[in-house]
Amino acid sequence: MKKIFAAVILLMSVFSFTARADEGMWILPLIEKLNIGQMTEMGLRLSAEDIYSLNKASIKDAIVSIPGCTGEIVSSQGLMLTNHHCGYDAIQSHSTVDHDYLTDGFWAMTKEHELPCSGMYANFLLKIEDVTSKVMENVKPGMSESERSSAINDARRTIEKQASNGNNYRTSVTSFFGGNYYYLLVYERYTDVRLVGAPPSSIGKFGDDTDNWEWPRHTGDFSVFRVYSGPDGRPASYSSGNIPLKPKYWLPVSLKDLNKGDFTMVFGYPGRTQRYYTSYEVNELLAITNPNRIKIRGIKQEIWMADMKADHKIDIQYAASYSYSSNYWKYSIGQNMQLEKNNVLEKKESIETRFSSWIKADPDRQARYGEALNLIRSSIQGRAPYLNAQQYLSECMQGFELLGFNPYGSLLLSVLRSGDKQHIAETVRRTKENLGEIYKNYSAATDRKSTKAMLRLYRADVPEKFQPDFFSKIVDRKFGGDIDKFVDDMFDRSIFTNESKLTAFLNKPSAKILENDPVALVAESFNKVIDYVSTEVSRFDEDLTKGRRLWIAALMEMDPGKTFYPDANSTMRMSYGTIQDYDPRDAVTYKYYTTTDGVLAKYKPGDYEFDLPQRFIELANKKQFGRYASSKGYMPVCFLTTNDITGGNSGSPVLNSKGELIGLAFDGNWEAMSGDVAYEPLLQRTIAVDIRYVLWIMDIYSGAGHLVDEMTIRE
């Protein structure tokens, strides 16, 4: 055990730079040791301490994690930029048919008009600290995997508690390199975050599903928020008395031209990569995970989209849910296609063949790492039928929204059974108060169609042993196996189908009615299967965790001259690269930038994805770009870099060699959709919206130049 960790620590200290400079998502405290020399050679004009410092304000103090994405502070008054799709939930939550900010956009012309966003937050990273030795202190040779895990988790909790003692910081001891390395991360969370501005979706989501994950892009994918603090500068819940945050650091903004070969950095919170996956895990993606997601979401989304196009209210209600679903639906299509096209499975098998020869050459290696691949293989193959069922349960139930009301019913039922009249009255009162929010984004008519499709699909595709018993007990016995009739009956009889029904029930609540509500019966039936499948999947967790830990440790020892970096795990990372074109196929080159000429060329009047506001068309045609145009006369829209990113990096700042903001990362490219599993150096690109386009939309198109005035602009 000690040999493994000594090897890891040594490697972290003496990595060479044989890997491509643009591959890797790097841990900030290690930049001085691992990256600064190469970055300086590539053009960086900052020091490592300018990027990450505990002693002075640095770039890391301007980068925040927000739900599912990254944001950056760009003014002394807490102004924050992120992607439009990252702010989509907040924009949608404030939208109604009468005030449709998704369609029309929104701009607060004064701070008093900024809109509070429930559930939004901004986490500021205070420090990252290597605590591997402390975490591993009580891990002893010969421990079982569960004993090892218990010792590690006890140590993690102790370290987290000590780090949060006497403060309100959020602390997390997080695993890196498959559990071979641990860091303590300390954050400060601000929960008063307000919507300041967003372009209309015809700009912020221009191209929508058709263009998603593909180049060339012409999307103004940005939204604007402001972080607020209490009067004392500390985090505080929303209050009219709160003040704009006074940040430690904010990013200056560059209006300079971008050129091929320019140095770039991206900072953010990438979610998950699987660069150390084996062939068995890649095959699981190819055979189970991606095909299931593609099939199930495709059916559900077709139903949703038909109703969204037919009804403006439903379009608003389902906008965020559809966007969330379709993003990784198309990702799965692209990932499977590129995993096959880029021969990723064969590349992984080649590494495994070399590994097998390497461990056979040394009895000590065989003893330490010999079981790694077998543990992974047996776990992946053993859990396959259960994982398949688990995914069908998860995906299909997301298209059966009526089940989402069951927790309200369970709570009400528990309270009613207690007989506590005061508790009952209070629970009923709170539920009534929340009815508007509960039903705000729900269309029973749409859900009825989707539920029929999801239940038909589940019954047809999932083996009998994973079928919930309501199929045989209710659907078959009472409805002759007709799922559509069963669903119609359930929607007609349930008290949860609409607000008026639930209101009538709350005016005269009854435990008996809840116990016999069809939603409760179906939910109970599904929950039995969920519990069974989850238990079966978890039986393979220990072996899989151990196999992955040993596998990664072995890879690092097998290639001591290679630069290793940990997989993304939603912690702050930095990647660096350059602005570059790429060649997607024979005789085709994609240049590194797009312009408003391309936006106008894609314009389709009245189209759901490619319509444009008339004002945009007029300004672009007249080339009224102000100071934001390129010196060559065009208005840049998006650009490409070789930076290594993944989901969670959405909204991440793209910085130049001086640490100035030049764009917001929002996507990867179609030809490298396999990149989360295997980096593709010739093809992999980050797609970013040019900050000059952002400011042009903000200032000249929208008339919100007061926000630009807050920023530190460098021309």
Residue 7 has pLDDT above 70, yes or no: no
319-354 residue pLDDT tens: 999 999 999 999 999 999 999 999 999 999 999 999
Residue 17 has pLDDT above 60, yes or no: no
pLDDT at residue 20 in the model? 53
- 481 φ/ψ angles, rounded to the nearest 5 degrees: 85, 5
> Which among 614, 578, 620 has a CA at the least distance from the CA of 595?
620
660-685 residue pLDDT tens: 999 999 999 999 999 999 999 999 99
- DSSP for 354-408, please give it: HHHHHHHT-HHHHHHHTTHHHHHHHHHHHHHHHHHHHHHHHHHHHT-GGGGGHHH
441-453 residue pLDDT tens: 999 999 999 999 9
pLDDT over 70 for what percent of the chain? 97
Domains of the chain from N-terminus onward: 2-121+191-275+567-714 (2.40.10.120), 279-542 (no CATH)
Q: Which residues contact 596 (CB under 8 A, 6 or more apart)?
A: 218, 620, 634, 635, 637, 693
What distance in Å separates the CA atoms of residue 291 and residue 332, rounded to the nearest whole number?
8
509-522 residue pLDDT tens: 999 999 999 999 99
Q: What secondary structure, in 3-state letters, does 418-454 show?
A: HCCHHHHHHHHHHHHHCHHHHHCCCCHHHHHHHHHHH
462-494 residue pLDDT tens: 999 999 999 999 999 999 999 999 999 999 999
- Angle, alpha carbons 260-263-64 (nearest 5°): 125
pLDDT at residue 8 in the model? 42
Residue 112's alpha-carbon distances to 118, 290, 358, in angstroms, are 17, 46, 66
Regarding beta strands 253-254 and 713-714, do their DSSP bridges make them parallel or antiparallel, or are they unpaired?
A: parallel
Chain-centre distance of CA 122, in angstroms? 15
Residue 662's alpha-carbon distances to 235, 255, 384, 463, in angstroms, are 29, 7, 45, 52
Query: In which band, very low, low, confident or very high, does the pLDDT at 562 lie, cut at 50, 70 and 90?
Result: confident
259-279 residue pLDDT tens: 999 999 999 999 999 999 999
Residue 21 has pLDDT above 70, yes or no: no
82-113 residue pLDDT tens: 999 999 999 999 999 999 999 999 999 999 99
Furthest CA-CA distance within the chain: 76
Residue recorded with tokens 């330490």: 368
Which 3 state secondary structure label does DSSP give 687? strand
pLDDT at residue 150 in the model? 96
Query: CB burial class (10 A; 0-12, 13-18, 19+) of residue 63?
Result: buried
**Which residues in 485-497 are b (16+ Cβ under 10 Å) and which e?**
ebbebbbeebbbb
Residue 170 near residue 123, CB atoms below 8 Å: yes
Residue 483's alpha-carbon distances to 94, 302, 459, 710, in angstroms, are 36, 19, 9, 58
What distance in Å separates the CA atoms of residue 442 and residue 659, rounded to the nearest whole number?
44
Mean pLDDT across 384-399 = 97
202-225 residue pLDDT tens: 999 999 999 999 999 999 999 999
Which 3 state secondary structure label does DSSP give 532? helix
Stated pTM of the model: 0.94
Please give the positions annotated as active site: 85, 221, 650
Residue 427's alpha-carbon distances to 40, 236, 415, 507, 509, in angstroms, are 61, 27, 8, 12, 11
